[in-house]
Amino acid sequence: MDDNSIQERLVDRKAGDLKARICEELKKIWRVATPSVIARVSSFGTIVVTQSFIGHINAVDLAGYALVQTLSVRFVNGILIGMSSATETLCGQAFGAKQYEMMGIYLQRSWLIDLITLTLLLPIFVFGAQIFKLIGQEQGIAESAGYISLCFIPYVYGLIFSLTIQMYLQAQQKNMIIAWLSGLQFVIHVAFSCLFVYVLDFGLGGAMAALCISSWFLVLGEFVYIFGGWCPETWRGFSIAAFKDIWPVVKLSVSSGVMICLELWYYAILVLLAGYMKNAQVAINAFSISLNIVSWMLMFIVGIMGAACVRVGNELGRGDAGALRFSIRVLMGTSASIGIFFWIICFLFSTNITYLFSDDEAVIHTVSRLSLLLAFSALFACIYPVLSGVAVGSGVVLGYVLHLQVEGIWLGLAFGVLTETCAMIYLVWKTDWDQEVLKTSARLKRWNLE
């Protein structure tokens, strides 16, 4: 056999090994990601469905809902998601290191920290009307937003438990229960929304009541699963140990919360800017509908990034930097492929989707003008951004100085996401993962309670 034949066989063998490794890694990723995607799409779907019902009730209430959901709820949700991601990181690392008893402790610490944090932020919802009037929003929209802010309070308290429990269960690969409960939550939400809005004619209050009921159904279902004995290794009851060594977890939670909050908050700022444009009601409605369409699609990416946290945490806990690097490459390729798929969906069907949210032709026309920008925003955000709004200022310039209105603001958003994605790729590429393994091992030993 000549040298060329030997080299060809070696190349084929390496290609076959690489293909097998990619397939194996994809199985590990989707084993975690599939339930996570179902859960996130269903949970965020309740927000989108509520917007759809309110859009067919009253245009002013739709604008009020858009302000509260995009500004207040997104702000608080970003903080809670970020702080809860500390639970995901710590539980993932503890599971990889087989420190199972610590996972329940980390969960309880997160509940305590998140409850205190949300209570401190509660004035945002209690004084919603006054805040929106103070920042110059139209009188009718601000008053509607104030009422909707109060209705959102039970919902945001439910987020404390649903987010942290989801990450706790996901870290130990008990996430099919999350998918089932989230799917049932979505079905219950649609059923109650139809009952309260169309059958009983409760209007805006009925739509918000359906949202709160369905969100707490998910929380109660998760409580039953954990307390009912389905997590025997990781949940050993409430413990005073949750109060020990809590300060390092607070610092990790706060830093994660600020990071994610800034990422979500810059989208909210753009909706706020839309409220100062000509015909603010149409601008707010069109922009928030477009934003929620893209956000709902990107729940797929967020679900995959949840799987990334688990995979990275597991490999850090095991101390395998090589497997960690390979997992990151496969995750980025998967996310990019999904981003291209969503680019096609947004480009072709964004106008048709708008009819689900509003009958206002002015709103529908404005959204149709954003279809191309919607498509590229979904594509640019295919790798979940970790850094916050580097290029938001460009949207302000395009929207106001160059008078491009809503299109200008969305261009700024797209440039910002593109900048973040490039920065994210650079940071992941330059990270010394061997050093991160050493840091994780030291932290796990220091925080483990014998």
Q: What percent of the chain has pLDDT over 70?
A: 67
Q: 10 Å Cβ neighbour count for 2?
A: 7
How far, in Å, CA of 9 to CA of 4, rounded?
Answer: 9
pLDDT band at 391 (very low <50, low <70, confident <90, very high): very low
pLDDT of 29 strictly over 80: no
Contact in structure between 161 and 111 (CB atoms under 8 Å): yes
Contact in structure between 211 and 191 (CB atoms under 8 Å): no
DSSP 277-301: SSSHHHHHHHHHHHHHHHHHHHHHH
Q: What percent of the chain has pLDDT over 90?
A: 22
Q: What is the pTM of this model?
A: 0.72
Task: Provide mean pLDDT across the span 177-186.
Answer: 90
pLDDT of 261 strictly over 80: no
Over the stretch 435-446, which tens digit does the pLDDT of each residue have? 666 665 665 566
243: exposed, middle or buried (Cβ count in 10 Å: 0-12, 13-18, 19+) = exposed
pLDDT of 118 strictly over 80: yes
Residue 390: name the closest of 365, 408, 415, 368 by CA: 415
How far, in Å, CA of 92 to CA of 173, rounded?
Answer: 10
How far, in Å, CA of 288 to CA of 280, rounded?
Answer: 12
Task: Provide mean pLDDT across the span 159-171.
Answer: 87
More reliable by pLDDT, 207 or 359: 207
pLDDT given for residue 59 in this prediction: 83
pLDDT of 208 strictly over 50: yes
Residue 270: name the closest of 290, 287, 250 by CA: 287
pLDDT band at 357 (very low <50, low <70, confident <90, very high): confident
All residues at 6 or more sequence positions from 177 whose CB lies less than 8 Å from its CB, including other chains: 169, 221, 222, 225, 230
More reliable by pLDDT, 371 or 112: 112
pLDDT given for residue 70 in this prediction: 81
pLDDT of 298 strictly over 50: yes
312: exposed, middle or buried (Cβ count in 10 Å: 0-12, 13-18, 19+) = buried
